[in-house]
């Protein structure tokens, strides 16, 4: 089963390269598998994106980093609260904190 990162990477690079990157991400010690116990289905415009929202909620993530406009709907949902920031805001956050 391909995970979405591998699917997206294989659109730009070879399938082997996409698989290698995915295996590297899954193999590093700071990657934490998350079990989703409840599916909120908050994103209706692209239901495939819900897995990221559900994972963020179940893992206690501080935010989702995405430039995908489908995640903007999460900014207007009070509960469950999921903070969404774009890549530029994330760069500013990590630059400020390091």
Question: What is the tens place of the pLDDT at every residue in 23-74?
Answer: 898 899 988 888 899 999 999 999 999 999 999 999 999 999 999 999 999 9
DSSP 31-62: --------------SSGGGHHHHHHHHHHT-S
pTM beyond 0.95: the answer is no
pLDDT at 98: 67
Q: What is the dihedral of CA 48, 82, 65, 30, to 10 degrees?
A: -90
**Angle, helices 4-12/15-27, rounded to nearest 10 degrees:** 140
| 10 within 8 A of 18, measured Cβ to Cβ | yes
């Amino acid at each position: 089963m391909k995970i979405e990162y591998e699917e997206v990477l294989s659109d730009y690079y070879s399938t082997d390269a996409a698989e290698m990157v995915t295996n590297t991400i899954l193999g590093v010690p700071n990657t934490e598998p998350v079990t989703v116990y409840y599916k909120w289905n908050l994103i209706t415009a692209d239901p495939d994106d819900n897995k990221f929202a559900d994972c963020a909620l179940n893992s206690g993530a501080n935010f989702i980093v995405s430039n995908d406009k489908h995640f903007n709907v999460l900014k207007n949902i009070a509960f469950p609260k999921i903070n969404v920031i774009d890549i530029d805001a994330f760069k500013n956050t990590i630059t400020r904190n390091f």
